[in-house]
Amino acid sequence: TLEDLDQPGVDDEPMAVLLAYEDAYQYQNIFGPLVKYEADYDKTMKEQNCKEDLVVHWDVGLNKKRIAYFMFAKDEGEVRLVPGDELKLNYNDGTRKWSGIGSVIEKPNSEEVALEIRNGAGAPVECTHGFSVEFVWKATTFDRMQAAMKNFAVDETSVSGYLYHRLLGHEVEPQAIRCTLPARFSAPGLPELNHSQVFAVKSVLQQPLSVIQGPPGTGKTVTSACIVYHLAKMGQGQVLVTAPSNVAVDHLTEKIHRPGLKVVR
């Protein structure tokens, strides 16, 4: 509206990202607003993904929780539904209303979704029609990003001095990690690595910070699993592995488990 256009900051453009930053405060001041924009966009997109007139059939899981099954067709441009997403299932037949929040526990290749209801008390399990579903947006991921940037800016012990300057794009002397390299870089139970993958594993084991890039299907997940395997075998403690999505974590967990490592998801 015209009133919105008069609000301060409406036309403010976010600051451009840089190749190098003076310090972590400048880094936070530039990336903080960008993360906020991304969070707002993600929230808007998910709130728009409401499905009406669903047909639901019910079951009870091994943990005695109610499970609602329904078809969730994804239209072009809509948010992709993955296990772990939270949805709010609503029922309204004109005389009775009910709502329940649950987690997607199964999303096979078909369009049917299995939603485990957190609290199934009063759920209209005798009904099949009159349901709708909407996303429950969670800010957890974006809050963690903001908290990490704040920690990076205010806590000088959050990372080593070398990583601090490398992350900010400063020119620093390369550092090498002294380690005993394995005689064989492939990991048991995983496909044999090619020359490029072996070079990647060898390089990562000797550097504090590395980036592995490659098109889809080039074996980045297998390479990452081999790296984690060798890091664990060095006996320097537990290895923390993160990924940007639940699906990516699941794939990594499966690959890391194959060589026989104990994995906690």
CATH number, domain of 249, equals: 3.40.50.300
Last residue of a domain, one of 108, 135, 162: 135
Give the integer Cα–Cα distance in Å for 136 and 198. Answer: 42
Last residue of a domain, one of 86, 113, 135: 135
CATH code for the domain of 57: 2.40.30.230
Last residue of a domain, one of 116, 135, 154: 135
Sheet strands (E) in the chain: 51-54, 57-60, 66-71, 86-92, 97-106, 112-117, 131-135
**Do 200 and 262 reside in the same domain of the chain?**
yes
**Do 131 and 181 reside in the same domain of the chain?**
no
**Do 127 and 190 reside in the same domain of the chain?**
no
- Evaluate whether residue 40 is within a structural domain: no
- Evaluate whether residue 154 is within a structural domain: no
Count of domains for the chain? 2
- Evaluate whether residue 24 is within a structural domain: no
**Do 187 and 124 reside in the same domain of the chain?**
no
Residue 1's pLDDT is what?
40
Residue 228's pLDDT is what?
97
Residue 8's pLDDT is what?
53
Residue 78's pLDDT is what?
65
Residue 49's pLDDT is what?
82
Q: What does pTM read for this prediction?
A: 0.77
- Evaluate whether residue 122 is within a structural domain: yes
- H/E stretch holding 24 reads helix 24-47
**Do 57 and 129 reside in the same domain of the chain?**
yes
Which residues form the domain of 256?
Answer: 175-265
Please give the chain's pLDDT, 265 residues, in tens.
435 445 555 457 889 999 999 999 999 999 999 999 999 999 998 888 888 999 999 999 999 999 999 998 776 566 778 788 899 999 998 889 999 999 999 765 678 899 999 998 999 999 999 999 999 999 998 999 999 999 999 998 999 999 999 999 999 999 999 999 999 999 999 999 999 999 999 999 999 999 999 899 999 999 999 999 999 999 889 999 998 877 889 899 999 999 999 999 8
**Do 188 and 260 reside in the same domain of the chain?**
yes
Structure tokens given for 67 = 């499970």
Give the integer Cα–Cα distance in Å for 203 and 179. Answer: 11
Residue 145's pLDDT is what?
96
- Evaluate whether residue 105 is within a structural domain: yes
Residue 47's pLDDT is what?
84
Cα distances (angstroms) measured from residue 38 to each of 11, 20, 28, 205, 239: 17, 22, 15, 33, 29
- Evaluate whether residue 41 is within a structural domain: no
**Do 97 and 179 reside in the same domain of the chain?**
no
Residue 11's pLDDT is what?
55
Give the burial class of 66: count Cβ atoms within 10 A of its Cβ; 0-12 exposed, 13-18 middle, 19 or more buried.
Answer: buried
**Do 121 and 191 reside in the same domain of the chain?**
no
- Evaluate whether residue 60 is within a structural domain: yes
Residue 76's pLDDT is what?
56
- Evaluate whether residue 65 is within a structural domain: yes
Give the integer Cα–Cα distance in Å for 20 and 171. Answer: 9
Structure tokens given for 111 = 């369009």
Residue 81's pLDDT is what?
80
